[in-house]
Structure 1
Amino acid sequence: MSRSTIDYRPFEPPLPPGRARAVPWMSVLGGSALTAVLPVVASLALVPPLGLLMLLTWRLLARFALRPWAAAPLGLFDDLVSGQPLGSAVLLWSLCFIAIDLIEQRLVFRDFWQDWLIASGALAFCLTVGRWIALPLGAHVDPVLLAQIMIAVMLFPLSVRFVAWIDRKRGPAA
């Protein structure tokens, strides 16, 4: 007797609406906090911005899970826990949300590859401009920045799987 891997329980009660709305916020906050507390000892900052990755994934995968203004308070939290200059993630994450809205006005339908391309551009933009805001221009961190961008871009499919799993668990009430 083989066991199906499909998790289909039509009569399981969904999360209450308040908790279902809080799940995307908590996952982005958790991603930002996880980046700050990972026990990685390295002379190079190769840890990708997991909070930004989760935010972009929620915005691209479940459009109405986060309000358009949600990027600002979530970016403020990320600035506080990551040590970036205060307001940099607020500005950059809000600009990413605006850019995604503009792209969505042009594209009627998107698939996974287009979402990955949009997220890659947003990740590269935020990491590059964040580097210009946080470090002097004479600092030689360009190879490390490229590696960090590549790691973040390659983690996007895993982030999509994780957010889709969370979104399925929170139910249709959200």
Structure 2
Amino acid sequence: MLLVPIVSVMAGSMATAWLPLIAGTPLLPPLGLMMLLAWRLMRPGMWPAWIGLPLGLFDDLFNGQPFGSSGLIWSLAMISIELIDLRGVWRDHLRDWLIAALLVMLALLAGLGISALAQPTPEVGIIIPQILLSALLYPLAVRLCSHLDAWRLAT
């Protein structure tokens, strides 16, 4: 039961490879990152800050980015959430949603910047639909994590 959160993040990372969707522009949200953020914001003391590195490296196997980019980006996202928690700011669902949407947007922009180091990159506007869809689907990731957490704690 301790592996349920980790397996759910890994399944989110693999989900984009399973879905039979062909698009000319990036559209699918980073489901693994959204699951990681949902678990971290829902259960603050469950994971250490370094968990972003191995889960991000696993995500790199499926997302097509240069290896290590998600490991770096996810680690920075986890560290930024730790810094927010150190400030002692009271959070509710809307603030968690705003934090997650901001971190996903920054992660997608950083991924675009990292991929620009290896090849000519398209303009930033190409990932705006992906950013908007990610922000809108974050509550669904939280709901899925809460159901998995209730199942995990019940057994």
Structure 2 length normalisation: TM-score?
A: 0.93
Q: Which runs of 5+ in 2 are unaligned?
A: none
The answer on whether the counterparts of 1:21 and 1:65 sit within 8 Å (CA) in structure 2 is no
CA RMSD, aligned part only?
Answer: 1.6
Q: 1:40-86: CA deviations, max 9, x gaps? A: 01111101100000000000001233332211100000001112101
* 1:85-143 deviation digits (Å, cap 9, x = unpaired): 01100101000011000011113421001101110111011000100111368533422
* Structure 1 alignment gaps of length 5 or more: 1-19
Matches within 5 A, 1:15-54: 20-54=1-35
Percent pairwise identity: 43
Cα distance, 1:162–1:25 mapped onto 2, change above 3 Å: same
SS of the equivalent of 1:171 reads: helix
Residue type at the aligned position of 2:56: G
| 2:70 is equivalent to residue 96 of structure 1 | no
For the Cα contact (< 8 Å) 2:109–2:124, is it kept in 1? no
Equivalent residue of 2:107, what SS? helix
Asked whether 1:170 is paired with 2:145, we answer no
* Separation in 1, partners of 2:147, 2:114: 35
Partner of 1:167: helix, strand, or coil? helix
**Residues 97-136 of structure 1 mapped to structure 2, 5 A cutoff:** 97-135=78-116
Identify the match of residue 159 of structure 1 among 123, 141, 145. 141
**Greater Rg by CA:** 1
Looking at structure 2, the residues matched to 172 and 101 of structure 1 have their Cα atoms a distance apart, in angstroms, of 28
Change (3 A) 1:69 1:82: same
**Relative to total residues, which structure has the larger helix share, 1 or 2?**
2
Q: Structure 1 length normalisation: TM-score? A: 0.83
Aligned pair count?
Answer: 154
Structure 1 residue matching 2:21: 3-state secondary structure = coil
* Alpha-carbon distance in structure 2 between the residues aligned to 1:124 and 1:76: 19
